[in-house]
């Protein structure tokens, strides 16, 4: 595995305002380069999707994540991947702190993944087109049936579906209340849920930040799969609370929870 992925001990979050001028310049350059990387790789991903080449879409996403992470000097410490050894497709359910959560999953998660995404992201030029055509599942409440069918198709194709269950990013190293969408999707498709905690990524690029804080380490811990075959639709809230608590426990094990 690449040297960016390692096991390391937790560190306290570093706020952008306390960075040295040199590190700030590095962050500005890394942010600008990330934009430049995005355009050609988004185009390549969209073309691959239109041509029916899902492996090409996966390669573009993995390459996009890795080169941005490397440019920013970010290291990703992952634990618990052995929990996936005997699991097929699944719904990966995680907390969400930073845009780097998406990059790290794309770059270093050992399975091909597709994300649950908000329809607002479709408005981003090129990126939105690639998102729509790349088998990612775009949520639109007015067309919920299409999203359901898309999720089933993605699962049946062997992809893993990534769901950030808090609904948006929180930058306080806490796990916030989960929405029931991930549990609902898992119950509908009968896929197991795999909980995952993400810590310290907010120190790299918190919500609302315009510039990356480079040279940091983020942490990810994968938990044991939770089967759903025997569960009913009425178990949705119970499963949601179980996933929320499990991710909270995993984050505490990483040593990143701030209270």
The whole-number pLDDT of residue 10 equals 39
Lowest mean pLDDT among 4-18, 44-58, 165-179, 205-219: 4-18
| Domains defined along the chain, listed by start | 16-254 (3.40.1130.10)
The answer to whether residue 151 scores a pLDDT higher than 90 is no
The pair of three-digit structure tokens given for residue 26, joined into one six-digit string: 């590095």
Give the C-alpha separation, 194 to 117, whole Å.
18
The answer to whether residue 2 scores a pLDDT higher than 60 is no
- What mean pLDDT is reported for the chain? 86
The answer to whether residue 135 scores a pLDDT higher than 90 is no
Cα dist from 200 to 29, 71, 98, whole Å: 22, 18, 9
The string of pLDDT tens digits covering residues 70-87 is 999 999 999 999 999 989
Average pLDDT over residues 224-249: 96
95 close to 8: Cβ distance less than 8 angstroms: no
Q: Outline where DSSP puts E strands in 80-157.
A: 91-94, 113-118, 137-139
**Residue of higher predicted confidence among 253 and 137:** 253
Average pLDDT over residues 226-230: 95
The answer to whether residue 14 scores a pLDDT higher than 50 is no
Q: Residue 259 CB: number of other CB atoms within 10 A?
A: 5
Average pLDDT over residues 98-110: 94
The string of pLDDT tens digits covering residues 111-131 is 999 988 777 776 776 777 777
The answer to whether residue 202 scores a pLDDT higher than 80 is yes
**pTM given for the model:** 0.85
């Amino acid at each position: 595995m690449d040297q960016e992925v390692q096991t390391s001990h937790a560190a306290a979050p570093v706020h952008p305002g306390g960075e040295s001028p040199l590190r700030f310049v590095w962050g500005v350059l890394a942010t600008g380069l990330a934009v430049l990387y995005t355009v050609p790789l988004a185009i390549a991903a969209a073309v691959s999707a239109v041509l029916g080449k899902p492996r090409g879409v996966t390669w573009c996403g993995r390459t996009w994540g890795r080169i941005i992470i490397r440019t920013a000097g970010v290291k990703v410490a992952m634990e618990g991947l052995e929990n996936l050894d005997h699991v097929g497709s699944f719904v990966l359910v995680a907390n969400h702190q930073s845009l780097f959560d998406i990059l790290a999953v794309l770059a270093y998660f050992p399975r091909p993944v597709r994300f649950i995404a908000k329809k607002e992201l479709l408005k981003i030029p090129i990126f939105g087109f690639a998102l729509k055509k790349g088998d990612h599942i775009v949520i639109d409440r007015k067309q919920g049936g299409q999203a359901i069918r898309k999720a089933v198709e993605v699962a049946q194709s062997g992809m893993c579906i990534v769901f950030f269950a808090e609904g948006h990013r929180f930058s306080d190293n806490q796990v916030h209340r989960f929405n029931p969408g991930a549990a609902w999707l898992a119950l509908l498709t009968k896929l197991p849920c795999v909980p995952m905690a993400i810590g310290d990524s907010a120190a790299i690029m918190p919500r609302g930040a315009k510039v990356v804080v480079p040279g940091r380490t983020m942490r990810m811990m994968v938990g044991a799969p939770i089967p759903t075959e025997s569960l009913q639709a009425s178990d949705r809230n119970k499963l949601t609370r179980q996933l929320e608590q499990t991710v909270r426990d995993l984050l505490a094990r990483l040593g990143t929870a701030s209270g």
